[in-house]
Chains A and B, each alone.
Chain A
Amino acid sequence: MTRYSIFSLARNALAHRPNWQRAWRSPDPRPAYDVVIVGGGGHGLATAYYLAKEHGVSNIAVLEKGWLGGGNTGRNTTVIRSNYLWDESAHLYEKALQLYEGLSQELNFNIMLSQRGVLNLVHNEHELKEMSRRVRAIRLNGIDSEILDRQAVKAEIPVINISPQVRYPILGASIQRRGGVARHDAVAWGFARAADARGVDIVQNCEVTGIDVANGRVRGLQTSRGAIAAKQVGLVAAGHSSLLAAMAGLRLPIESHPLQAMVSEPIKPVLDCVVMSNAVHVYLSQSDKGELVIGAGIDGYNSYAQRGSFQIIESQMGALLELFPSFSRLRMLRQWGGIVDVCPDASPIVGKTPVEGLYINCGWGTGGFKATPGSGWAFAHTIAQDRPHALNAPFTLERFSTGALIDEHGAAAVAH
């Protein structure tokens, strides 16, 4: 693999024929692997990378039914933060954020991490008290978080409307200054390139159609490109997790919902942080191209269609204009949907399954992108050691039987 550097850039810029290499191979699947990861999104690719790097496993394949990062990895609003209330979530998301902070150097791939700060707005007295509690809990976990009053919010975001004469007046905000955004495609591509360099086979257009289980142990997979034997299998398929788990006879506490997002036409720099509001329910940031990237909540019904209903977009726009009346003349450029896997407690499942050698990483719902490296790091440990790391030990499938739920609904600073 050619290292990307200022010299390789200059060499190729000046060359008559630029000699950029393919970032990763496109091998045919071999008949057998030690570990097969199902799902070539950010989480799956990160798992393969950390398995190879941290645990010395080299005989790995990542199977992707479409193209790399074509699912939720390329459909989210790219927000990264770790300001979670509960200790279990805070530790896991903070691990992810710390990995993100060194990821461009580690992967030798610019993921365009921009720690521009994430503001969570507060619109009423109750939220103010809740936010104050949350900020203190987050700081006790060693994660940066501050409280801003109304005027400080205006100073951070001059374009925001802080008039008290609106239905949801802004009373303040919490801010995590280390939060921000990253280029989501680059995260997938960077992990893919780095994993490939360590010998991981990344197989695209390869759909898993069956999971072979014998005597309670996983033996391999049936795929659209033939049977593949595997000693260990990790399922990292987000919205389609229930379908994959059913192939191994498992039921999951997951429902798949559409989550819609959109971007506006590009405008000059107007917003240099990420703004989220729970009460009016919208979140937005401005991309480097100048487009406003806007997201909100899930559609209420189950779906696998990667599209949702129009009234969700309408309420999202209403919320946006409540905060930023000056955006009313903006035109929206594109709108899309992804299929998110929602758990009853809005926390992920990262761990073992009742089938030996079969591991599952799913249920990230609306918040998966920010966790990508941490999720892959912890899941790689779980597969390599056949037991969870302390970071993901609370996020078992068994918690739904034991009752040790990690209830992040509402606690996670934004509704799901």
Chain B
Amino acid sequence: MWSDTFLIVFISICTAFLGEGLTWVLVYRTEKYQRLKSEVDKQSKKLERRKETHGDSLDKSVKKKIERYEEKLKNNNRDLSLVKMKSMFATGFAFTALLSMFNSIFDGRVVAQLPFTPISWIQGLSHRNLSGDDYTDCSFIFLYILCTMSIRQNIQKLLGFAPSRAASKQGGGLFGPTPAQFK
């Protein structure tokens, strides 16, 4: 049992590095990305500082200035997401191919026993391609996704490719509203 689980951890470490390597070749090393990223980081920090100092100021000109900054940041964030999109497609294709290969290798195999019974909408994932009704059986895909969740993000952070906190707080890119809008 150790061998299967360690193999899956090893696979996800390899795929995380592969994904980051591919993204580095396609995106991170390009001048456009580096320029946009440093700009977004700088602007997010500036905006955060500005908001902190003028937080509840009712001055219209200040508000307008902040809004203009936000608009600029939003545009840059959008550009950054578009640049990243290219590699997302490439890695998406590569990972779909790899995943289907691993899926066929581990097809119908119980790779681990879960110490808990997952909630119903996760059972589809944790019990994928497994026979029987014992939902503490764990499929390859569930363990792989969990490994990737923890390993890939840590690798990104370690290599310095993760978006900075200020940027993700202010921007959020193409995904979802920013927390600032709720304030």
A and B part of one assembly: no
Where the two chains meet, the residues of B that have a C-beta atom closer than 8 Å to any C-beta of A are: none
Interface residues of A (CB under 8 A from B): none
